[in-house]
Amino acid sequence: MNRNYLLALLALAALVGASLLFPARFYSPGPLSPGHRNIEDCSTCHKAFSKPRGNTCAIAACHDRAFWEKKKGLFMGHLETTGCMQCHTEHPAPDEPVTFIAPHDKAQGIECQRCHMVTAAHFPLADPDCSRCHITIGWKPARFNHMALKPEQTCSQCHKLPEKHARTDLACSNCHDSLAWKPAKINHMAMVKENICAKCHTLPSTHGATAEECSRCHDITKWKPARFDHATLGKGESCMKCHKLPPGHGATVEECSLCHDIGKWKPVRFDHSKLGQGQSCMKCHKLPPVHGATVEECSLCHDTAKWKPARFDHKTMGKGQSCIKCHKQPAKHVPLPEEQECSRCHLADKWKPAKFDHTALAPENPCYKCHRLPEKHFLTRVKCRSCHQTNSWKGARMDHSTLDAKAACISCHALPSRHFPTSDDCKRCHGTANWRTLTMDHRFPFQHGARRGGNKCVVCHPVSLEKYDCVSACHEHGSMGIRMEHLEEGIFDISHCARCHPTGREHEGEGRNGPSGERNFEGGGHDGKRDDDRHDGKRDDD
């Protein structure tokens, strides 16, 4: 009995201690909402062992007027409501929701506008009773019984016409029903016979001006294709009453029927032979933008059947006539002095190919007066004729032997993207006659691996020129066998063969690890004494 009593006292003491150390967590019936989770002092909202008062939240520093001004527009009633506990609760029990909305019962006499605002997208309301369309458990979808409307109530009291809707004073019910706006239905056959199309439809901008009824050309099922019997028009009727000239049409006062027929606008027919002599083409036609400026008659180059190809006998031009009077230089033409005659390069019957006798130029005339270096050409001060000829730009030649011995290749050439980085002189590997034929002296006997591919670079450089591989290229043993033999001599790095075997010989002064563990390349053979025999008495080619 004494033991049970002692255990009860210890448990009571533990509870009292926990309540003193963590009062908020000890007495709280459930977790606080995210907005209140950092509140540790119960007295912020409660008096000892009592519920918060109705206006506790409204007078608290965390829910002042500035706080609700930021929330304005969501629930406008908050600014005037102090009874927060009517809708919101805080940790009532571990499984209870933090926020609930009081029953939306009409008997309570609370209007929706007290807490809710009508959004900008909502159409204007004639009746402020939201319950006519919405229910309290969900705002959408809305419902509305249009059949309950009074006859004098119109659709426009709540709805507006879309921007692309035809302007009309007809009742919406003529085309739409209350269940769905689209698809619209309209019975044009029920329309009165008077011309009332204009009440709903406007003429397209490309339509000819007319006072005729639309039904003369169009029907009620579709706008195109239009039909019109021009034969019903009286003689003397002008096409311009309904049609306008297209933008590219020549200015004319002639009757349209002179070129066009009533069946279709194109192709155009026109008998130029009926025109009186002295009639200027410019009365109907304009010069194309690329045409040379001229005051000559069009018939000198063109005929009435077709515009192209044009003909022109340049031989009829008097001497001293400049080509520039009719022709302009192409954008890519080399710059020329104004006094330069086109005939020095071009013929009168065709523009290309051009000819030019560079030998007639004075020696002091540099090429760059007419030509520019291509984008891919390297920068140089050497004269163009050192590499190029006047009859052909490509097939350039360059005598590198004429260059100064100190001239660096890099001043004209750049390393290809696949070339490995190096600061060596290019001529150690390459010649001036051919870039690809290498003359690299590795100071290493290429015949060392001749039996495995000769002098091909890929034999020793299978991956890239920056790295070499002696094991797979020449030696009969695998990498593990070579590694084990070198480990016997205390050599751990076998990836740089040329450091110990600069001439390819088997034992010629390889280094070994010194006492400190570092490589020593100053010794004799692997051990300073080793001959060419293996431990098993066989010859070693590795």
Structure tokens at 82: 């102090």
Does any domain span residue 491?
yes
Same domain, 348 and 397: yes
Query: Tell me, what's the pLDDT at 481?
Result: 77
Does any domain span residue 194?
no
162-174 tens-digit pLDDT: 877 877 777 888 8
Structure tokens at 234: 């009286």
43-90 tens-digit pLDDT: 778 777 777 766 677 666 677 667 666 665 444 445 455 567 666 667
Does any domain span residue 261?
no
Does any domain span residue 239?
no
Low-confidence ranges of the chain (pLDDT < 70): 1-2, 14-29, 53-55, 58-61, 64-65, 67-83, 85-89, 92-109, 120-121, 123-127, 190-195, 208-209, 250-251, 292, 335-339, 440-455, 465-466, 472-478, 502-542
- Residue ending a domain, among 99, 119, 135, is 99
DSSP label of 196: -
Same domain, 393 and 448: no
Same domain, 445 and 524: yes
The set of residues, in sequence order, having a beta carbon less than 8 Å from that of 252 and lying 6+ positions away, is 283, 284
Same domain, 453 and 541: yes
Same domain, 432 and 502: yes
Cα 492 from chain centre:
54
The set of residues, in sequence order, having a beta carbon less than 8 Å from that of 285 and lying 6+ positions away, is 250, 298
Residues 76 and 72: their CA atoms lie apart, in Å, by 6
What's phi and psi for 68, nearest 5 deg?
-75, -25
Query: CB of 387 within 8 A of CB of 378?
Result: no
Same domain, 382 and 440: no
Query: Tell me, what's the pLDDT at 388?
Result: 87
Same domain, 390 and 346: yes
444-496 tens-digit pLDDT: 665 555 555 556 777 777 777 667 777 766 665 667 777 788 888 888 777 77
Does any domain span residue 530?
yes
Same domain, 377 and 437: no
Query: Tell me, what's the pLDDT at 444?
Result: 61
> Which residue from 61, 100, 63 is spatially nearest to 78, judged by alpha carbons?
63
- Residue ending a domain, among 388, 403, 418, is 403
Neighbours of 169 (CB within 10 A): 6
Same domain, 437 and 383: no
285-320 tens-digit pLDDT: 778 777 767 777 888 888 887 888 888 777 777 777
Query: Tell me, what's the pLDDT at 517?
Result: 38
Residues 482 and 491: their CA atoms lie apart, in Å, by 11
Query: Tell me, what's the pLDDT at 83?
Result: 65
> Which residue from 113, 108, 96, 104 is spatially nearest to 138, judged by alpha carbons?
104
Residues 222 and 198: their CA atoms lie apart, in Å, by 16
Query: CB of 209 within 8 A of CB of 242?
Result: yes
Q: Is 411 helix (H, G, I), strand (E, B) or coil?
A: helix
- Residue ending a domain, among 70, 99, 128, is 99
Query: CB of 480 within 8 A of CB of 459?
Result: no
Domain coverage including residue 389: 341-403
Does any domain span residue 204?
no
Same domain, 391 and 461: no
Same domain, 477 and 514: yes
The shares of helix, strand and coil residues in the chain, as percent rounded to the nearest 5, are 25, 0, 70
Whole-prediction pTM: 0.30
Does any domain span residue 106?
no
Does any domain span residue 416?
no
Query: Tell me, what's the pLDDT at 86?
Result: 66
Count of domains in the chain? 3
Query: Tell me, what's the pLDDT at 277?
Result: 76
Question: How many Å is the Cα radius of gyration of the chain?
Answer: 51
Query: Tell me, what's the pLDDT at 443?
Result: 61
Q: Is 470 helix (H, G, I), strand (E, B) or coil?
A: coil
